[in-house]
Structure 1
Amino acid sequence: MDEAAGQERGTTERVLTLLGLLQQRQVWTGPELAGRLGVTVRTVRRDVERLRALGYPVHAGHGVGGGYRLGPGRDLPPLLLDDEEATATAVSLLAGAGAGAGDAALRALTKLDQVLPTRLRHQVRTLSGSVEFFPDGRTPVDPDVLMNLARACRDEVEAGFAYRRGNGGAVGDGVRRRVEPYRLVASDRRWYLLAFDLDREDWRSFRVDRMSDIAARTWRFRPRPAPDAAAYVQEGVASRVYPHQARFLVHAPAATVRARLPASAAVVRPHGDDRCEVISGADTSLDAVIMHVLLLGHDFEALDPPELVGRCRVLAQQLLTAGAAIAPAPDAQEP
Structure 2
Amino acid sequence: MASTSRRALHLLSLLGSRRLWPMRELATRLGVSERTVRRDIETLRRLDYPVTTVHGPDGGYRLGAGHTLPPLRFDDEQALAVAVALQTAPSTVFGLADDAARALAALERVMPAPLRASMESLRLTRLRNYWEFPAPPIDAAALTAVGAAVRHRHVLVTEALRADGSRPEPGDDDFRPARRVEPHHLVVWAGRWYVVAYDLADRAWRVRRVDRLHPRPTTHPFTARELPGGDLARFVMSSHDRGDTVAAWPCTGSARLGLPAGVVARWAPGGSVVEHLDDEHCRLTLGAWSWAGIAGILATFDAELTEVRPRELVQAGRRLATRFS
What band does the TM-score fall into relative to the shorter chain? 0.3 to 0.5
Q: Could you state the TM-score of these two structures normalised by the residue count of structure 1?
A: 0.44
Q: Could you state the TM-score of these two structures normalised by the residue count of structure 2?
A: 0.45
